[in-house]
Amino acid sequence: MNKTILLLERLGNLVQHARREDAKQLGLQPVHLQILAYLHRANRYSDLPIAVTEYLGLTRGTVSQSIKLLEHKGLLIKRVTHPHARKQHLQLTARGREAAAAGWLHKMRTLLEHEQPSSDQLESTLETLLTTLQRAQHGKPFGVCNSCVFHQRHGNGSRCGLTGERLHTDEIELLCREWQDAAQAA
Ligand code: SF4
């Protein structure tokens, strides 16, 4: 068997195992931690139940039940940006953010910080693999705002060329469901 496939399978199993352990300690299911981790990185156009469904490939029913439970446990809140708006944005509470950033993700981040020179190359290879798999499954690409074709820099700030709205500095590092690869469009 191809060694890359074996390595990816092993890595996937290790991540699943670590996530199960983290979830058990918090009295949650692994899927709940996946939702918290996604929302921790999602921007204001992507913190919606439908985006969670798309990003994690889950059913609407699973996402809806999970959101109810996470809300009940005080890990997230629902908010609407306008009194007549129908879209409900999902916002992590301080406890939710803590749960999302801890555990195996924190350990992995610390490990990779010590491997910086080679991790750039690794990132680029994994990105190519991810794009290929997403295309094969016809999934939405999702991506980090500062590498999006619509991302516009204005002096010290940024703007989204798709919505016309200003973007805060911390938002350009977040995930977006409307993202389109700037490198592909060049
Ligand atoms: S620039 Fe792209 S990634 Fe950023 S908010 Fe706009 S559509 Fe989303």
pLDDT in tens, 6-56: 888 998 899 899 999 999 999 999 999 999 999 999 999 999 999 999 999
Structure-block tokens of residue 85: 């708006």
CA of 168 to the centre of ligand 1 (A): 12
Same domain, 95 and 9: yes
| 183 CA → ligand 1 middle, Å | 14
Q: For ligand 1, atom 4, name the residue with the nearest CA.
A: 145
Residue 117 has pLDDT above 60, yes or no: no
Mean pLDDT of 156-182: 93
pTM of the model: 0.87
pLDDT at 5: 84
Number of domains in the chain: 2
Residues 17 and 80 grouped into a single domain: yes
How far, in Å, are 48, 58, 71, 78, 79 from residue 86 at the CA level?
11, 22, 18, 12, 10
Q: Are residues 61 and 149 in the same domain?
A: no
Does residue 97 share a domain with residue 14?
A: yes
Residues 100 and 149 both lie in one domain: no
Q: Report whether residue 162 contacts ligand 1, using a CB cutoff of 6 Å.
A: yes
Q: How far is the CA of 39 from the centre of ligand 1 (A)?
A: 16
Structural domain range at position 106:
1-115
Residue 42 Cβ inside 6 Å of ligand 1? The answer reads: no
Are both 20 and 110 inside the same structural domain?
yes
Q: Does residue 172 have a pLDDT over 90? A: yes
Other C-beta atoms lying within 10 Å of the C-beta of residue 42: 22
Q: Rounded distance, CA 171 to CA 152, Å? A: 13
- Residue-wise pLDDT for 176-185, tens only, equals 999 998 877 6
| pLDDT of the residue at 115 | 67
Last residue of a domain, one of 115, 143, 171: 115
Query: Which tens digits make up the pLDDT trace of 79-110?
Result: 987 767 778 999 999 999 999 988 887 887 78
